């Protein structure tokens, strides 16, 4: 058999495998529709999206993967399969901090898949409001960045909101310089968010020291502005380039490549255990020496790993603070439940923000189309 004949046979084999994959995908979709039918028969208000179930499925996908495709790539494919199947059961509406092309939208699509309906919101409070009112099933908001720190606005909103944290997303942030005109020497004005300017400071100083830097509410808004002006550019994402028909003049211009933003999925429903979870709480202590130490002591005594501690002014009384804590484990785990109850007795105020599947921070890898 010569090479051309062998190549033809392999292509026929690929076609046959593709047919099998397609048949199995539709069989999976039919099974998902049957799940929806049974759920609705049992409860007309049934919840279709279960973050804990999806997390368990994706973990199994990664564990059983034998290559040559890497585990993350296979998990990404399964995420889209689950997204398409869920859309047959109940098309989800997810609010995000817009406009179109923001990293928040990219994070939402990374978590929910591209079959979800993403709804752009002008500000973080609007995301909370859309979910609270029932106009959207879930919302996605940024909560912290590995370089710039906490997104305080998001933290503050949890005090007054009854929404729960349902999931977390780690998304790698990479900045491109985008323009509709180019080349680089023609750029006189650059639009971007203040954080993006800070993260690209050294590159800008070296390559475009004379350009005027104008701050915008988001990197996507910067891309929108740049798309309307000659001689203008934006520091934004590759997704924004697609949305606003811009071309990258320079790629990955951030000064530090290990730039990851953590996003939260907010919703109304509590999330069950997966066996690898995280619990978020917020509390207020007495304004006396040793108060914070005493509240945190039960965590140490229970040998629970505390993965985050953040403070914010209460805004209701000077020099009083909310503390935000992330713990490993689920509130339904007896040791976590007992520990949180002990902490509650030592606080003026303690609120459970949610328990949800834990994601490895390193999983926010860069993804390029």
**Residue 339 · residue 298 · CB < 8 Å:** yes
Residues 45 and 123 in one domain: no
User: Are residues 166 and 189 located together in one domain of the fold?
Assistant: no
Please report where in the chains the tokens 């109850």 appear, as a residue.
341
Q: Answer whether residue 234 is part of any domain.
A: yes
**Residue pLDDT, tens place only, 101-114:** 889 999 999 999 99
Phi, psi (rounded to 5 degrees) for 102: -75, 165
Please write the tens of the pLDDT for every residue from 290-303. 899 999 999 999 99
Res. 132: pLDDT tops 90? yes
* 187 and 77 housed in the same domain: no
Mean pLDDT over each residue of the chain, to the nearest integer = 91
Distance CA 234, CA 212 (A): 11
Q: What is the pLDDT of residue 163?
A: 97
pLDDT at position 275 over 60 = yes
Which residues are within 8 A (CB) of 153 and not within 5 positions of it... i.e. 6 or more apart? 124, 125
pLDDT at 365: 43
The answer on 180 and 160 residing in a single domain is no
Boundary of a domain, candidates 189, 224, 250: 250
Residue 283 placed within a domain:
yes
Weakest-pLDDT range from 123-127, 250-254, 284-288? 284-288
Better pLDDT: 316 or 177: 177
Tens of pLDDT, residues 6-29: 999 999 999 999 999 999 999 999
pLDDT of residue 319: 66
Q: Is 255 part of any domain?
A: no
Residue found under tokens 């199994």: 60
Mean pLDDT of 317-332: 89
314: domain CATH number?
3.30.70.260
Looking at residue 182, what is its pLDDT? 73
Residue tagged 């990258």 (tokens): 248
8 inside domain? yes
Residue 369 confidence (pLDDT): 31
pLDDT, position 364: 47
Quote the domain boundaries for residue 238: 176-250
Q: Is residue 40 part of a domain?
A: yes
Q: For residue 363, what pLDDT band results from cuts at 50, 70 and 90?
A: very low
> Comparing 352 with 258, which gets the higher pLDDT?
352
Tokens of 47: 């919840």
Same domain, 350 and 264: yes
Alpha carbon 239 to its chain's center: 15
On the question of pLDDT at 252 being above 80, the answer is: yes
If asked whether residues 181 and 123 sit together in one domain, one would say: no
Among 47, 72, 89, the domain boundary falls at 89
Report how many domains make up the chain: 3
- Residue 161: name the closest of 280, 336, 52, 54 by CA: 280
**Residue 368 forms part of a structural domain:** no
- Residue-level pLDDT at 242: 87
Which pLDDT does position 151 carry in this prediction?
A: 87
The larger pLDDT score, comparing residue 368 to residue 203, is at: 203
pLDDT band at 323 (very low <50, low <70, confident <90, very high): very high
- Same domain membership, residue 231 and residue 99: no
Residues 228 and 163 in one domain: no
Structure token digits, residue 225: 């502005």
pLDDT tens readout for residues 133-192: 999 999 999 999 888 788 888 999 998 899 999 999 999 889 999 999 878 989 999 999
Same domain, 134 and 187: no
Give yes or no: residues 325 and 205 share one domain: no
Kindly tell me if the per-residue pLDDT of 99 is higher than 90.
Answer: no
For residues 167 and 162, give the distance between their C-alpha atoms in angstroms, rounded to a whole number.
16
Kindly state whether residues 349 and 224 are assigned to the same domain. no
What pLDDT band is residue 366 in, cutting at 50, 70 and 90?
very low
In the 3-class helix/strand/coil scheme, how is the chain assigned residue by residue?
CCHHHHHHHHHHHHHHHHHHHHHHHHHHHHHHHHHHHHHHHHCCCCCCCCHHHHHHHHHHHHHHCCCCCCHHHHHHHHHHHHHHHHHHHCCCEEEEECCCCCHHHHHHHHHHCCCCEEEEECCHHHHHHHHHHCCCCEEEEEEEECCCEECHHHHHHCCCCCCEEEEEEEEECCCEEEECCCCHHHCCEEEECHHHHHHCHHHHHHHCCCCEEEECCCHHHHHHHHCCCCCEEEEECHHHHHHHCCEEEECCCCCCCCCEEEEEEEECCCCCCCCCEEEEEEEECCCCCCHHHHHHHHHHHCCCCEEEEEEEECCCCCCCEEEEEEEECCCCCHHHHHHHHHHHCCCCEEEEEEEEECCCHHHCCCCCC
Contact 215, 231 (CB under 8 A): no
pLDDT of residue 362: 59
- Residue whose pair of structure tokens reads 């040793």 in the numeric block: 290
pLDDT higher than threshold 80 for residue 241: yes
Domain CATH for 196: 3.40.190.10
Residue at a domain's end among 221, 250, 279: 250
Q: Is residue 369 included in any domain, yes or no?
A: no
Q: Is residue 278 part of a domain?
A: yes
CATH at 62: 1.20.59.10
Residues 225 and 322 in one domain: no
pLDDT at 203: 96
């Amino acid at each position: 058999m010569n090479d051309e004949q062998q190549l033809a046979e392999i292509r026929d084999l690929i076609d046959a495998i593709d047919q099998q994959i397609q048949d199995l995908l539709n069989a999976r979709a039919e099974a998902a529709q049957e799940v929806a039918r049974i759920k609705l028969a049992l409860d007309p208000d049934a919840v279709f999206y279960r973050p804990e179930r999806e997390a368990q499925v994706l973990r199994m996908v990664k564990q059983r993967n034998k290559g040559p495709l890497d585990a993350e790539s296979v998990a990404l494919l399964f995420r889209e399969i689950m997204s398409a199947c869920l859309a047959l059961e109940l098309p989800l509406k997810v609010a995000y901090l817009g406009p179109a092309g923001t990293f928040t939208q990219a994070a939402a699509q990374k978590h929910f898949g591209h079959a979800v309906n993403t709804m752009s919101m002008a500000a973080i409070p609007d995301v909370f409001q859309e979910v609270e009112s029932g106009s959207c099933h879930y919302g996605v908001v940024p909560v912290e960045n590995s370089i710039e720190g906490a997104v305080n606005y998001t933290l503050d909103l949890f005090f007054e909101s009854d929404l729960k944290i349902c999931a977390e997303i780690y998304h790698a942030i990479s900045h491109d310089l985008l323009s509709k005109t180019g080349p680089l020497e023609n750029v006189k004005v650059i639009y971007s968010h203040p954080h993006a300017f800070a993260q690209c400071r050294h590159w800008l100083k070296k390559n475009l020291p004379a350009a005027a830097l104008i701050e915008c509410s988001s990197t996507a808004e910067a891309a929108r502005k740049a798309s309307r002006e000659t001689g203008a550019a934006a520091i934004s994402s590759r997704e924004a380039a697609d949305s606003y028909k811009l071309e990258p003049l320079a790629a990955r211009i951030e000064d530090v490549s290990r730039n990851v933003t953590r996003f939260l999925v907010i919703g109304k429903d509590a999330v069950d255990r997966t066996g690898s979870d995280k619990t978020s709480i917020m509390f207020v202590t007495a304004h006396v020496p040793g108060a914070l130490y005493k509240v945190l002591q039960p965590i140490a005594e229970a040998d629970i790993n505390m993965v985050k501690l953040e403070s914010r002014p209460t805004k209701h009384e000077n020099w009083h603070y909310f503390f935000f804590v992330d713990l490993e484990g689920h509130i339904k785990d007896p040791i976590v439940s007992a520990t949180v109850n002990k902490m509650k007795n030592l606080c003026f105020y303690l609120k459970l923000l949610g328990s949800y599947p834990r994601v490895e921070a390193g999983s926010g890898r860069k993804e390029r189309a």
